[in-house]
């Protein structure tokens, strides 16, 4: 037992040293370890007696005394009593059992032992048993805070089946939907009025798909975790919707001479009547093409994006850390994108629609962000967020690279995308088997199984993760994917994938147009003319090889990501890997901004890996970099 | 009777066991347990007792007694019975497929069929009927079949020779007939529960179309098309469900198709793929029950990749396998319970119509009758009509059906004339035929022709991916109906004059004749000596059977004979899949095709027949198209008109990494060429002199005399960049309409702005403007530089549209022995030689040098 304990501590130490380091102002990492079960530890610690009473009453204590992995944010007795008072109650007995169960669940993460090392500013990747996110923040001199106000008084109390962090306040997440939450926030009255007046609030009411039952799809799991393979299958536990609203405060509005909704209408018209002159005459603000409607809609994203999930969560170890990152997010404003930039050199993140020439940018407030709601989150922004000509020009003049998982809101809203990188040394990778019809923008044949593979340190994938489609033995994959909206223009369209010799032969289509003849995707990059840059003396940078590959319809992988743990593939970055390819689908002219379809029909057995997609304006190809 | 248990067999068994234990061991206890001495009232009696006492199952009870199942159904076991009341039997005796009028007329075999097919060897309430276990997991609501007690040996017919299938495999039994099981697996029953139908989106309309089930209530359960009218009668040893009608076991799909008078043609085609298999186990089992039996029992099995057998009576593996055995009662892909198969079977009228019109007429023209269509050609036709999943083949999903090659199957509801639910699948009898893509694509003439066996063999060679998936890429490629091809096929009798490119670079050149070896069902090659100077073919010097060699050469030939798109556009020159340049004149059967080699040798390939297919045209040729065998190096070095430019190209000091030529292929190749097609602009000798005179470049001797190594290197690089700017990606031809910018082979290494906007690290471009009689080039000079142009020269004494080809071989030709076995002692066998890749180019002579400076 002692030996196991030492190994355990050693493992923790190693793990701790390899994980992304916490903010500099966090206090030292010291673990407290007890060999008790979590429930027992709490019971034996008088300070938690009221919390234990809650756990007893709700019968959750039994769970915490069972084997598994749990993270508990435990409020002390004072915190519990303060909570009763806050709610106008005297004791636990004054709450309904359902309410108590929800309170208990709010404090427990089932399935993961999340030590302090894993805490980063923003939401934790794992959700509580009540299906809510826990948000972590740091203040100098303090260990940290949960959901901004509940201080972490003591961290990393390790027990046999998990970890406890003592907190100063009972976690009390809002039970309001995103619209109700905004309505209660007095900082955004002008925006809220417009949100209601445009009827866009009605778009934000969905919570989850009640018709979805994961039990219906358990036969999709062929590799359960218990098999101890390098990966395991899971089915999404729910099909939730999620929303993000970015809002200018009344103060910011006023700074822009907007004092009421009429001013806002005028402002919106000045922007959107210019870029959409054909709609300038639409006065019905509920019309999706009206300028005010577009203004508000451009602030709404049908994904639940906490502060770190705009872009930081995708800056996995795969991403070369001196290369800027860009994320393109569809908004509710018809056929528009929003760019989010992570500027490595300036150490800035969440730069929205940054225009290099003018320096114009919108930032998310660093104090008023991650405002929680049951079906979403909202953030304050520091300037007037618009999709105007300048933004349109910026977006339609540069390479737009989309991680494949960014196409699908369901992956974000159900806590699949953005879970960081699973470590091959200590973890099995998580593969979600996605039921047919679960993702609205993937139409797959009955034979096709859609998978989402979370980031894994042995993958050489852009942002670590991938969409994976395959068919059972003797069958063929066949699917169609709807892309996010792309601005009008003429683009070279490419998709990126990792070769492994078993991708099959397939016919690719873009917008229903065959992209040439059937492709043998089983071929390695080398079979398609790839040479490692530097391996040919007269072509030290591989540019001549780039030309050769483009003549064949391929490109090397971009130099902006790598495989963190080489083995399955190697190379300093994807450009230096003979396993990574970009296939040029062709050049297409989009007469107007809109969505497009990428269709793949397998012609031989195999699996299809879809890592990312690029839309490169033909005018930008000449000056395109290797990243 | 009340429905007490919520689960089926398990709980019943456990409960009964518990009760038995209770009765056996607790009788001495004196307590108040009411079940100590009495069974619970709700448990009912045994199945047999219940049926007997109910008074309306006398026929069924008589069967139980006659077949010796009284004890079984009185005492033990967990059974589910689907029984019929006497009233249902009365209806049965009025009309049935056996013509039996009274109970007494039923044979024992018939009684066994009626009784055992109505019994499942587990206890199921209807709510759990659609559950099953597989691989340790419980699958709920997803079953549509369960195995019954009816076994293969319960129906053992002896067939006369006339009743046996007509294929040669059965001839040895034609005189005496044989005991033949239609299948040696047990019979499953097929049922439709609400859970199953909902799970897979199968509608009432589907059921009506397939089984004539009308007005199905939401909770109704059907066994085939027979409704359960009373359910979940709980007995000690199982459950009873009462059927609306007597449950008669259907047959399997193969037998139904065989018995159907309207599907004889299809059935006969199908039966080509069935063989008699001696069934030792069944023979012994039958003998043990019937000691007087001295004969042998065979099973009819289909040659199939799923179920059936893959072995011919000869012991050899069959090269032709159906997707599955259509006679396999217990057909399954994962679990018997989960699904069954389906087949779309055209009526005889549909088959005849197809054979007499449209695409089918090609078959008739080629083979005369369905019976004469060879097995390997009829196989894809049959497979296209066979579906591995019933669930994916119900009428509401017709429009989503794809075949095994991912091509849609254009079945509509209006095609369906009849439907039959067999124990192993659904048969849809159709008034339409669904020919495979093989029959309609550009591949079709190759498949169906008598004299294209060589190319057909090459097209069907399979590769294996890393995960073991086998795929014949060329077949998939040519069958792509969304692409358009022109395919040239030298037919077998003309496949005799292929000049091997590797041998062409050796001391002994060789010409290959490819031929189909009917004994081995493979292509071989006979090599003849060939004198490239005289163009004469000598004696045969070797026969090559090495599969790797044959595949390598035939795939290279295939690539040189496929053009993506049409070749009758009048452009004159086209690029093949191999990046070869071919010259095409004429159209249809008057077409003439020349490869680069043909142009050099004055030969040509004539189209002798052509076929207009769904995705392009297939042209049969009287000779393989001979690609160029002359390399860029050879073409430039041999022609005095190119002399000065060639001197510059070949003068790059050996110390420099920036060489133009590399020793490879037939002699040398352009080092920076890859598997693509290029254009080379060769300035006249005067133009080269002008470049030197103008100081644009130095001569090699001037450069080599520069003592400062750095300066010398800089001058070498400058010269190489100058030379490479005359090499352009993409082949453009004099006489064609061209207007565009093409990348040269010279990289831009600074940030200066150029006329064509080329960025640093990208390749400087060449502007090309061509008409029917001119071709003008413009250069990518720095912005502000006066426009400089050059012209492609034409007319007497000038050379344009010279087609050349640079090969890369597995090794240098000198590393192989000659085709006749002579050659270097260290050389490896010629049959191991491989053509790796190649690049083609067209050379034009121009009046000025090209410079971007």
Query: How many C-beta atoms surround the C-beta of residue A342 within 10 A?
Result: 21
**pLDDT digits 0-9 by tens, B795-818:** 888 999 999 999 999 999 999 999
- The ipTM, to two decimals, is 0.81
Give residue A14's pLDDT. 39
**pLDDT digits 0-9 by tens, A248-262:** 999 999 999 999 999
- Contact B471/A504, CB-based, under 8 Å? yes
Give residue B44's pLDDT. 62
Spatial contact of B286 and B267, defined as CB atoms under 8 Å apart: no
pLDDT at B6 over 50: no
Which residues 162-221 of A are in CB contact (within 8 Å) with B?
Answer: 216, 219
Give residue B18's pLDDT. 41
pLDDT at B30 over 80: no
Spatial contact of A541 and A530, defined as CB atoms under 8 Å apart: no
DSSP codes joined into one string, A128-140 = PTTS-EEEEE--T
**pLDDT digits 0-9 by tens, B149-196:** 999 888 888 999 999 998 899 999 999 899 999 899 999 999 999 999
- Between CA A178 and CA A244 the distance in angstroms is 8
Domains in chain B with CATH codes = 9-140+229-246 (2.30.180.10), 257-439 (no CATH), 444-621 (no CATH), 635-846 (no CATH)
- Between CA B614 and CA A396 the distance in angstroms is 39
- Between CA B33 and CA B372 the distance in angstroms is 79
Q: How confident is the model at residue B22 (pLDDT cuts 50, 70, 90)?
A: very low
Spatial contact of B777 and B766, defined as CB atoms under 8 Å apart: yes
Q: Closest to B761 (Cβ–Cβ): which among A516, A537, A543?
A: A543
- Contact A604/B476, CB-based, under 8 Å? yes
Spatial contact of B538 and B529, defined as CB atoms under 8 Å apart: yes
- Between CA B199 and CA B766 the distance in angstroms is 62
pLDDT at A159 over 50: yes
> Is B335 exposed, middle or buried, given 0-12, 13-18 or 19+ CB atoms closer than 10 A?
middle
Spatial contact of A524 and A578, defined as CB atoms under 8 Å apart: yes
Q: Residue B400: its chain A contacts at CB < 8 A?
A: 445-446
Is B658 in the A-facing interface, judged by CB distances under 8 Å? yes
Q: How confident is the model at residue B31 (pLDDT cuts 50, 70, 90)?
A: very low
- Contact B476/A518, CB-based, under 8 Å? yes
Q: How confident is the model at residue B7 (pLDDT cuts 50, 70, 90)?
A: very low
Is B741 in the A-facing interface, judged by CB distances under 8 Å? no
Give residue B16's pLDDT. 42
- Contact B402/A445, CB-based, under 8 Å? yes
Q: How confident is the model at residue B361 (pLDDT cuts 50, 70, 90)?
A: confident
Which residues 396-455 of A are in CB contact (within 8 Å) with B?
Answer: 445-447
What percentage of chain A reaches a pLDDT higher than 90?
A: 81
Is A544 in the B-facing interface, judged by CB distances under 8 Å? yes
Tell me how far CA of residue B88 lies from CA of B112, B225, B365, in angstroms.
18, 15, 54
What percentage of chain A reaches a pLDDT higher than 70?
A: 94
**CB contacts < 8 A (A, B):** 106
Is B205 in the A-facing interface, judged by CB distances under 8 Å? no
- Between CA A510 and CA A615 the distance in angstroms is 12
- Contact A622/B758, CB-based, under 8 Å? yes
Radius of gyration in angstroms for the set of CA atoms belonging to chain B, rounded to a whole number:
38
Q: What are phi and psi of A301, to 5 degrees?
A: -125, 135
Is B460 in the A-facing interface, judged by CB distances under 8 Å? no
Q: How confident is the model at residue B24 (pLDDT cuts 50, 70, 90)?
A: very low
pLDDT at A18 over 60: no
* Best B401, B482, B759 residue to mutate vs chain A (most A CBs within 10 Å): B482
Domains in chain A with CATH codes = 2-167 (2.30.180.10), 214-221+229-238+400-621 (2.60.120), 243-395 (2.30.180)
- Between CA B550 and CA B182 the distance in angstroms is 43
Q: What is the mean pLDDT of chain A?
A: 92
Tell me how far CA of residue A260 lies from CA of A200, A289, A386, B790, in angstroms.
18, 21, 18, 68
What percentage of chain B reaches a pLDDT higher than 70?
A: 94
Give residue B758's pLDDT. 95
Q: Residue A528: its chain B contacts at CB < 8 A?
A: none
Is A62 in the B-facing interface, judged by CB distances under 8 Å? no
**pLDDT digits 0-9 by tens, B645-661:** 999 999 999 989 899 99
Q: State the nearest Cα–Cα gap between B163 and chain A, in angstroms.
A: 35
Comparison of pLDDT for A441 and B23, the residue scoring more: A441
Mean pLDDT calculated for residue range A341-346 = 97
Torsion B407-B410-B411-B412 (CA) sign: positive
For B684-762, where are the E strands, in sequence order?
727-729, 738-747
- Between CA A371 and CA A349 the distance in angstroms is 18
Mean pLDDT calculated for residue range A448-460 = 97
Q: Residue A537: its chain B contacts at CB < 8 A?
A: 657
Q: Residue B404: its chain A contacts at CB < 8 A?
A: 474, 476
Give residue A11's pLDDT. 42
Q: Closest to A547 (Cβ–Cβ): which among B137, B658, B763?
A: B763
**pLDDT digits 0-9 by tens, B294-334:** 999 999 999 999 999 999 999 999 989 999 999 999 999 88
Q: What are phi and psi of B435, to 5 degrees?
A: -65, 150
Q: How confident is the model at residue A148 (pLDDT cuts 50, 70, 90)?
A: confident
What chain A residue is nearest to B405 in terms of C-alpha separation? A603
Q: Residue B759: its chain A contacts at CB < 8 A?
A: 622-623
- Between CA A338 and CA A379 the distance in angstroms is 15
> Is B314 exposed, middle or buried, given 0-12, 13-18 or 19+ CB atoms closer than 10 A?
exposed
- Contact B747/A543, CB-based, under 8 Å? yes
pLDDT at A343 over 80: yes
Mean pLDDT lowest among A215-229, A566-580, B337-351: A215-229
**pLDDT digits 0-9 by tens, A400-437:** 999 999 999 999 999 999 988 999 999 999 999 999 99
- Contact A552/B467, CB-based, under 8 Å? no
DSSP codes joined into one string, B493-517 = GG---EE-HHHHTSSSEEEEEEEEE
- Between CA B618 and CA A14 the distance in angstroms is 66
Give residue B37's pLDDT. 47
Torsion B90-B95-B98-B101 (CA) sign: positive
Mean pLDDT calculated for residue range A575-595 = 96
Give residue B236's pLDDT. 87
Mean pLDDT calculated for residue range B492-509 = 94
Which residues 132-171 of B are in CB contact (within 8 Å) with A?
Answer: 137, 139, 142
pLDDT at B366 over 90: no
Q: Closest to A538 (Cβ–Cβ): which among B482, B657, B759?
A: B657
Q: Closest to B466 (Cβ–Cβ): which among A501, A517, A548?
A: A501
DSSP codes joined into one string, A307-318 = GGGTTGGG--TT
Edge-first strand listing for the sheet containing B592-595: B562-564, B485-490, B616-621, B605-613, B592-595, B581-585, B573-575
**Which residue from A438, A436, A489, A450 is spatially nearest to A600, judged by alpha carbons?**
A450
**SS3 state at A105:** helix
Comparison of pLDDT for A126 and A416, the residue scoring more: A416
* Best A622, A626, A627 residue to mutate vs chain B (most B CBs within 10 Å): A622
Is B196 in the A-facing interface, judged by CB distances under 8 Å? no
**pLDDT digits 0-9 by tens, A75-91:** 999 999 999 999 999 99
Give residue A32's pLDDT. 62
pLDDT at A13 over 50: no
Tell me how far CA of residue A378 lies from CA of A159, A242, A299, A603, B790, in angstroms.
36, 11, 10, 45, 64
Q: What distance, in Å, lies between the first and last C-alpha atoms of chain B? A: 101
Torsion B71-B76-B79-B82 (CA) sign: positive
Give how far the C-alpha of residue A626 lies from the chain's centroid of Cα atoms, to the nearest Å. Answer: 25
- Between CA A449 and CA A248 the distance in angstroms is 42
Q: Residue A551: its chain B contacts at CB < 8 A?
A: 674, 676, 729
- Between CA A63 and CA A72 the distance in angstroms is 12
């Amino acid at each position: 037992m002692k030996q196991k304990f030492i190994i355990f501590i050693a493992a923790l130490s190693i793990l701790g040293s390899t994980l992304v380091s916490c903010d500099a102002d966090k206090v030292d990492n010291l673990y407290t370890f007890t060999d008790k079960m979590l429930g027992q530890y709490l019971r034996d610690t008088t300070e938690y007696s009221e919390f234990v009473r809650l756990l007893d009453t709700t019968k959750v204590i039994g769970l915490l005394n069972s084997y598994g992995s749990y993270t508990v944010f435990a409020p002390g007795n004072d915190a519990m009593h303060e909570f009763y008072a806050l709610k106008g109650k005297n004791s636990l007995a004054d709450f309904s059992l359902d309410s108590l169960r929800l309170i208990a669940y709010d404090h427990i993460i089932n399935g993961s032992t999340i030590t302090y090392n894993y805490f980063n500013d923003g939401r934790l990747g794992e959700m509580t048993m009540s299906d809510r996110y826990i948000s972590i923040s740091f203040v100098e001199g303090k260990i940290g805070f949960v959901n901004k106000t509940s201080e972490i008084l003591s961290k990393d109390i390790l027990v046999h089946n998990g970890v406890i962090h003592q907190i100063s306040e009972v976690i009390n997440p809002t039970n309001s939907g995103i619209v109700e939450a905004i309505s209660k926030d007095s900082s955004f009255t002008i925006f809220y009025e417009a949100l209601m007046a445009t009827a866009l609030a009605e778009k934000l009411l969905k919570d989850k798909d009640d018709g979805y039952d994961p039990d219906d799809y358990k036969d999709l799991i062929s590799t359960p975790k218990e098999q101890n393979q390098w990966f395991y299958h899971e089915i999404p536990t729910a099909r939730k919707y999620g929303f993000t609203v970015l809002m200018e405060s009344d103060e910011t509005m006023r700074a822009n001479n907007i004092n009421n909704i009429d001013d806002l209408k005028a402002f919106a018209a000045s922007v959107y009547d210019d870029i959409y002159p054909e709609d300038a005459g639409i006065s019905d603000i509920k019309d999706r093409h009206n300028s005010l409607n577009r203004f508000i809609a451009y602030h709404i994203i049908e994904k639940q994006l906490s502060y770190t999930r705009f872009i930081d969560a995708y800056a996995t170890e795969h991403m070369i850390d001196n290369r800027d990152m860009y994320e393109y997010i569809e908004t509710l404003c018809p056929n528009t994108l929003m760019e989010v930039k992570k500027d490595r050199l300036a150490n800035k993140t969440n730069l929205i629609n940054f225009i290099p020439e003018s320096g114009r940018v919108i930032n998310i407030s660093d104090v008023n962000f991650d405002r929680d709601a049951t079906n979403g989150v909202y953030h304050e922004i520091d300037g007037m967020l618009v999709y105007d000509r300048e933004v349109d020009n910026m977006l339609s003049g540069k390479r737009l690279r989309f991680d494949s998982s960014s196409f699908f809101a369901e992956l974000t809203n159900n806590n699949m995308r953005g879970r960081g990188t699973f470590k091959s040394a200590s973890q099995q990778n998580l593969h979600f088997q996605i039921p047919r019809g679960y993702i609205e923008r993937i139409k797959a044949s009955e034979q096709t199984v859609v998978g989402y593979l979370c980031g894994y340190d042995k993958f050489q994938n852009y942002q670590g993760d991938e969409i994976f489609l395959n068919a059972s033995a003797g069958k063929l994959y066949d699917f169609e994917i709807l892309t996010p909206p792309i601005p009008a223009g003429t683009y070279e369209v490419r998709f990126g994938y990792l070769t492994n010799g078993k991708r099959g032969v397939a016919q690719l289509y873009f917008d229903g147009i065959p992209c040439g003849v059937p492709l043998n995707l089983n071929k390695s990059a080398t079979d398609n003319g790839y040479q490692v840059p530097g391996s040919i003396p007269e072509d030290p940078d591989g540019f001549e090889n780039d030309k050769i590959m483009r003549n064949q319809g391929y490109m090397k992988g971009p130099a902006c990501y790598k495989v963190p743990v080489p083995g399955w593939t190697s190379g300093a970055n994807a450009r230096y890997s003979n396993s990574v390819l970009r296939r040029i689908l062709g050049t297409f002219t989009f007469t107007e901004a809109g969505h497009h379809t990428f269709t793949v029909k397998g012609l031989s057995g195999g699996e299809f890996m879809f890592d990312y997609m690029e839309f490169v304006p033909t005018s930008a190809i000449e000056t395109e970099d290797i990243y | 009777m009340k429905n007490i248990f919520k689960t089926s067999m398990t709980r019943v068994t456990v409960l009964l066991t518990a009760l038995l234990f209770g009765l056996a061991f607790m009788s001495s206890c004196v307590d108040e347990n009411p079940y100590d001495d009495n069974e619970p009232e709700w448990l009912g009696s045994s199945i047999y007792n219940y049926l007997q006492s109910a008074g309306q199952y006398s026929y069924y009870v008589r069967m139980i007694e006659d077949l010796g199942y009284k004890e079984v159904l009185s005492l033990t076991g967990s059974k589910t019975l689907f029984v019929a009341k006497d009233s249902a039997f009365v209806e049965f005796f009025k009309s049935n497929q056996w013509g039996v009028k009274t109970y007494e007329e039923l044979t024992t075999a018939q009684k066994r069929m009626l009784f055992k097919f109505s019994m499942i060897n587990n206890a199921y309430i209807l709510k759990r009927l659609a559950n099953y276990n597989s691989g340790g997991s419980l699958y709920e609501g997803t079953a549509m079949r369960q195995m019954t007690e009816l076994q293969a040996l319960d129906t053992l017919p002896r067939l006369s020779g006339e009743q046996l299938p007509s294929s040669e495999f059965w001839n040895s039994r034609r005189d005496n007939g044989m005991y033949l099981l239609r299948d040696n697996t047990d019979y499953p029953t097929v049922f439709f529960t609400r859970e199953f139908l909902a799970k897979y989106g199968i509608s009432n309309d589907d059921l009506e179309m397939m089984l004539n089930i009308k007005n199905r209530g939401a909770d109704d359960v059907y066994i085939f098309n027979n409704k359960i009218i009373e359910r979940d009668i709980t007995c000690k040893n199982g459950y009873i469900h009462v059927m609306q009608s007597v449950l008669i076991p259907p047959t399997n799909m193969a037998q139904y198709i065989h018995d159907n008078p309207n599907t004889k043609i299809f059935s006969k085609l199908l039966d080509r793929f069935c063989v008699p298999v001696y069934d030792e186990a069944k023979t012994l089992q039958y003998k043990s029950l019937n000691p007087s039996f001295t004969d042998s029992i065979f099973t009819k099995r289909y040659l199939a990749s799923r179920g059936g057998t893959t072995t011919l009576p000869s012991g050899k593996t069959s090269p032709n396998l159906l997707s599955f055995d259509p006679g396999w009662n217990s057909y399954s892909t994962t679990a018997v319970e989960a699904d069954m198969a389906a087949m779309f079977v055209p009526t005889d009228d549909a088959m005849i119509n197809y054979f007499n019109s449209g695409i089918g007429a090609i078959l008739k023209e080629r083979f005369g009758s369905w019976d004469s269509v060879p097995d390997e050609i009829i196989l894809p036709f049959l497979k296209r009509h066979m579906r591995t999943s019933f669930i994916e083949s119900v009428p509401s999903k017709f429009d989503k059906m794809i075949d095994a090659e991912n091509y849609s199957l254009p079945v509509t509801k209006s095609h369906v004339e009849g439907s039959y639910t067999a124990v192993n699948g659904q048969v849809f009898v159709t008034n339409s035929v669904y020919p495979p893509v093989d029959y309609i694509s550009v591949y079709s003439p190759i498949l169906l022709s008598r004299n294209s066996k060589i190319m057909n063999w090459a097209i069907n060679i399979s590769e294996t991916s890393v995960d073991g998936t086998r795929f014949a890429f060329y077949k998939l490629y040519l069958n792509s109906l969304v692409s358009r091809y022109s395919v040239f096929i030298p037919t077998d009798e003309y496949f005799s004059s292929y000049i091997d490119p590797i041998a062409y670079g050796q001391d002994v050149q060789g010409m290959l004749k490819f031929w189909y070896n009917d004994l081995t069902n493979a292509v071989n090659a006979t090599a003849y000596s060939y004198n490239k100077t005289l163009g004469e073919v000598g004696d045969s010097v070797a026969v090559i059977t090495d599969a790797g060699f044959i595949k390598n050469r035939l795939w290279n030939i295939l690539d040189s004979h496929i053009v993506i798109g049409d070749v009758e556009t009048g452009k004159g020159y086209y690029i093949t899949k191999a990046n070869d340049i071919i010259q095409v004149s004429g159209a249809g059967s008057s077409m003439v095709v020349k490869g680069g080699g043909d142009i050099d040798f004055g030969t040509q390939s004539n189209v002798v027949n052509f076929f207009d297919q769904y995705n392009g045209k297939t042209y049969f040729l009287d000779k393989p198209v001979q690609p160029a065998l002359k390399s860029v190096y050879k073409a430039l070095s041999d022609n005095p008109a190119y002399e000065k430019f060639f001197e510059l190209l070949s003068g790059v000091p050996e110390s420099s990494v920036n060489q133009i030529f590399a020793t490879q292929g037939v002699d040398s190749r352009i080092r920076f060429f890859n598997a693509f097609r290029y254009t080379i602009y060769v300035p006249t000798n005067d133009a080269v002199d002008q470049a030197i005179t103008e100081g644009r470049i130095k001569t090699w001797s001037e450069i080599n005399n520069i003592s400062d190594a750095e300066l010398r290197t800089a001058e070498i690089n400058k010269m190489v960049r100058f030379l490479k700017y005359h090499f352009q990606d993409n082949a453009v031809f004099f006489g064609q309409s061209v207007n565009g910018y093409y990348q040269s082979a010279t990289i831009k290494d600074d940030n200066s702005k150029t006329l064509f906007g080329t960025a640093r690290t990208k390749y400087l471009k060449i502007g090309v403007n061509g008409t029917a009689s001119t071709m003008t080039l413009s250069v990518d000079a720095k912005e502000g530089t006066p426009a400089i142009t050059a012209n492609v020269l034409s007319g007497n004494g000038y050379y344009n549209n010279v087609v050349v080809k640079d090969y890369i071989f597995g090794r240098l030709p000198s590393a192989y022995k000659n085709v006749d076995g002579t050659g270097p002692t260290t050389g490896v066998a010629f049959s191991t030689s491989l053509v790796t890749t190649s690049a083609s180019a067209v050379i034009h002579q121009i009046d000025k040098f090209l410079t971007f400076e």
